[in-house]
Amino acid sequence: MENAIRERAYHLWIEGGRQDGQADNYWLAAQREVLGTSLGEIGRLIARKAVEAPAKPKKARAPRKKRAA
């Protein structure tokens, strides 16, 4: 994960005109992108799994017996 962030930050730095003194800004922007992408993929996997495996129907319960007063 850290290498992906580092590589993306480097590309953002190049795209930003190679400005010095902005390393933290590039790192944070890259971190947001990489983590956002990762979380989006996890969300899609969870959603797909929920669609593929429908919930099991619940068993009907027997009626409760009335207690004597």
Integer CA distances (angstroms), 30 to 3, 38, 66, 69, in order: 11, 12, 64, 69
Residue 54 — pLDDT band, cuts 50, 70, 90? Answer: low
User: Looking at the predicted structure, is the pLDDT value of residue 53 above 70?
Assistant: no
pLDDT of residue 21: 93
Q: For 15-35, what is each residue's pLDDT tens digit?
A: 999 989 999 999 999 999 999
For residue 6, give every residue at least 6 positions away whose Cβ sits within 8 Å of its Cβ, in sequence order, or none: 30
Tokens of 14: 């190049």
Percent of residues, the chain, with pLDDT higher than 90: 45
